[in-house]
């Protein structure tokens, strides 16, 4: 037992000179911040904000067959349903109705679309600027004020299949998108 205590003490003594030092003092580079993407002005975030988090959404856009006030049938967005992945492809949260983004750290935000531009791919859902309207919990999303949905692939509703015989029917369209979460610069 004393041998293990001595070994633990020796390891602690060897590490002591590096404890409390910053990464730059130890020779390790500081962590790099996520760069803000280049986007059209219509969906740019206000100055003074920086990327707080990047996540890749992988999932579905869920649509319901509904009638418009003019009596025409069309697919209407019901909700997204996606997992949020970090840069290492680890699932860090979910994106669902609201629209809501919830991370495994307990932080959650709800947003409202503020602006959109067509995707570079006409078969894909638009790129969006989303304003955060509410926060809950604590964690990485607590200070987020804006979100950009970019680099979308897929997610458009089908071009057919919504008619009187299918009113109320649901369909899911696969999609992926990059989400950039912004907070005031520190």
Q: For 4-53, what is each residue's pLDDT tens digit? A: 444 343 444 444 444 444 444 445 555 568 889 999 999 999 999 999 99
pTM: 0.81
C-alpha 94/C-alpha 83 separation (Å) is 5
Task: Work out the mean pLDDT of the chain and round it to a whole number.
Answer: 87
Contacts of 48 (CB under 8 A, 6+ apart): 184, 185
């Amino acid at each position: 037992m004393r041998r293990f205590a001595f070994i633990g003490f020796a390891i602690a003594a060897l590490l002591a000179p590096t404890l409390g030092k910053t990464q730059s003092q130890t020779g390790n580079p500081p962590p790099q911040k996520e760069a803000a993407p280049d986007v059209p002005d219509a969906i740019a975030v206000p100055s003074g904000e920086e990327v707080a988090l990047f996540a890749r959404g992988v999932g579905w856009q869920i649509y319901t067959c509904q009638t418009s006030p003019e009596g025409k049938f069309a697919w209407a967005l019901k909700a997204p349903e996606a997992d949020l992945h970090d840069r290492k492809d680890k699932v860090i949260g979910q994106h669902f109705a609201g629209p809501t983004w919830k991370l495994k750290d307990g932080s959650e935000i709800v947003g409202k679309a503020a602006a959109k531009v067509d995707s570079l791919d006409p078969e894909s859902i638009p790129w969006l600027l989303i304003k955060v309207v509410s926060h809950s919990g604590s964690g990485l999303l607590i200070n987020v004020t804006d979100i950009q949905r970019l680099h979308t692939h897929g997610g458009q509703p089908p071009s057919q299949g919504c008619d009187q015989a299918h009113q109320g029917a649901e369909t899911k369209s696969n999609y992926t998108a990059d989400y950039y979460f912004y907070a005031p610069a520190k």
